[in-house]
Amino acid sequence: MGAENVGKDRGVASQKARLGVLVVVLVLVFCVWLWRSWGVPVHKPSAQVAGPAETLYVDILNQAKQLAPKPPAHPTPFAQAMVARDAIQSGEFYKADEMIKSVLQKSHMGPWTFQPFTAFMAALTAPGDAKFARGINAWVLARPSSAIAHLVRANYYFNIAWWIRGNGFANDVRANNQETFGFAMDLAAQDAREALKINGRDPYAWSMYLRILKSTGANTAQRAVFHEAIRAFAGYYALYRIRLSALQPKWGGTTRDMYRFVAKYAGETPAESPLRMLYVNLYAQLLGASSDVCGAVVRAPQMDHCVQMVMRRVTEPGLREDAYDAIKRRGGVRGLALSDELGRILPDMIMTSGGGHTAASFLQVAARTFGSDTQLVARDTAKNNFMIDRMAALVWYEHGQMTNAETLDKRSLSDLANSRFPSRYVEDGARAAIYTDLASIYNRKHEFRRVVVYEKAAARLLGGEGARPGYAALECAALFRLKLYRQGLGTCRAIVAADGNLQTRFWLGRIEDVLGKSSAAVRDYGLVASSESGYRDYAGIAIAVIYDREGQWQESLDALNRYSYLFKKAYDDHYDMAIAYNDRCYDKMQLGDLKGALRDCTASLRYGSLPDAYAKQQELRRMLDSRP
């Protein structure tokens, strides 16, 4: 199925049957991928459980409750999503359908968002285990005319695809993962298209379809779908933002396409229109593209200068002023809505390599708009906006100044009183976001107890463990480092069940390993090792070590050979390569392949100076010399 056909209605009578076959194939492919990732189970040794640490853990829980004294007054979108997720897994499709429809009906379209449905769907369709995948497929097969069922499955396939592929550059993704990514995206597109055929009055479904088409590089198809979407929902900002992003050069567009798009849809609108924020998005995307160009040709110390030079070439006259004006002219989108949208755009600018100068200028414009003082020692913060101080904290964080970042984030907590939130849930969400920022700061400062305190407080506000995609791994890592293994086991399993986070799964594997749960550790390490995660090197080596510890040298050797990237310079640093070659040397030595072992120990010493490799190399030479 080519990308150029993804947006066309084929009108073939056998389409539904073919779709059913493809769905089954994908489930089988995904299950096989999981099976291959997990490897062969090992025998479970006697558990070596660390001593009790109940006093420390109870103290942490009490401190978290002090930060979040009141649990949510009503079920949060995350909590509701977990109930719907359980219903799907249990085959209670009517219950899931009614709950999802209820959240959809209660959602509203703000200047830039469609909430709480967007947050609800993100939690509901996070990558899960094979049981959840089977539940979704059974739902669609049982109720093929349900737009909701097709939308949920489209979302799930989309998330699984990115979970497998990772967020690295395409050239760095292994061929099998890239192929599975494309296959899953094609299925996601089919389900999204079917959902819209059944019900084209769902703004979220249109945005989901556009995101899928962007991911497949189907620009022509996406353009047609975009025009259909804005005919139905002309004021839904997400549609324009997704389309603008797809026009970036890295997705097959051009900067000229981007300028024309913004001029057409933002330039002809009233000054107070939310679509004017497209100017800010355009500037942020040009900044990111400039950083990508510079990152390929210069080293870090020259990035700021290079990015500024490239930006001068690609920025047309008046763009910066239009972007500034979009922030200044708040009009009917005053206060909270504007700060929320800036909280989505500014972090990308602040964290863009070489983009510090540009990000600082935009942050200052926003600060003046809100009347916020971003100085560390501010005389009057009575009117400070919490998001502005939070973004100022991020700037300090990116510069490695953790104490200053902590000062600004704590001031951001005080600033919450300056905003009028439409509901307690929205305020709790803002508070939880600041708590997770503080947890990141404490993680950098190696204050792991405080990491867990603030992460648990955030989870309490949002409705449960796993409600913080991208952050929850910090809690599991901190629990491991605090040697709270038993407590960490339950926490990390809950997070993995909720969002499938690979970093969390890595730390779960480490906890399982310490507790002697070797089979479970191999399973979780295997998923990480087969992914594009930055933790995959350690995970692959850890699997081999577990097998070696069990005396299963052939299984260890098979695992190392399965994760062949461990031996390729293009993927791994030399230290990891030295360890991998050393481990393989040991396995071959135990299996009697002395010449192969000597080659691997010699290779290990080319990439590192491991004493173990030196000792084995000498022993192997003596053994080979003594042979007749």
Domain boundaries, the chain: 70-96+110-235, 535-628
Provide φ and ψ at 535, rounded to 5°.
-95, 5
Confidence of residue 482 (pLDDT cuts 50, 70, 90): very high
38/509 Cα distance (integer angstroms) = 12
Give the pLDDT mean for 444-471. Answer: 91
pLDDT of residue 36: 42
Cβ 459 vs Cβ 482: under 8 Å:
no
Confidence of residue 466 (pLDDT cuts 50, 70, 90): confident
292/374 Cα distance (integer angstroms) = 29
pLDDT of residue 569: 65
User: Distance of alpha carbon 557 from its chain centroid, rounded?
Assistant: 32
* 513 HSE (CA, 13 A, CB side): 23
pLDDT at 1 over 70: no
pLDDT of residue 573: 60
Torsion, CA 156, CA 158, CA 164, CA 165, rounded to 10:
-170
Confidence of residue 350 (pLDDT cuts 50, 70, 90): very high
What whole-number percentage of the chain has pLDDT above 90? Answer: 75
Examine domains 70-96+110-235 and 535-628 and report if their fold is the same: yes
Cβ 536 vs Cβ 528: under 8 Å:
yes
Give the pLDDT mean for 225-240. Answer: 96
535-628 sits in which CATH class? Answer: mainly alpha
446/311 Cα distance (integer angstroms) = 37
Query: Which CATH code, of 3.40.50.1100, 1.25.40.10, 2.130.10.10, 1.10.10.60, is assigned to 70-96+110-235?
Result: 1.25.40.10
- Which residues have CB under 8 Å from 525's CB, separation 6+? 506, 509, 513, 539, 540, 542, 543, 546
Number of other residues whose CB lies within 10 A of the CB of residue 218 = 25
Relative to beta strand 114-115, strand 108-109 is: antiparallel
Using one digit for the tens of pLDDT, what is the confidence trace for 164-211? 998 887 778 888 999 999 999 999 999 999 999 999 999 999 999 999
Give the pLDDT mean for 227-231. Answer: 97
Confidence of residue 322 (pLDDT cuts 50, 70, 90): very high
Using one digit for the tens of pLDDT, what is the confidence trace for 431-441? 999 999 999 99
Structure tokens at 100: 């999802």
- Which residues have CB under 8 Å from 190's CB, separation 6+? 19, 22, 154
* 122 HSE (CA, 13 A, CB side): 16
516/149 Cα distance (integer angstroms) = 40
pLDDT at 263 over 80: yes
345/287 Cα distance (integer angstroms) = 12
Cβ 483 vs Cβ 53: under 8 Å:
yes
Cβ 468 vs Cβ 458: under 8 Å:
yes
The top-scoring range by mean pLDDT among 15-19, 157-161, 463-467 is: 157-161
The least confident of 330-334, 338-342, 416-420, 570-574 is: 330-334
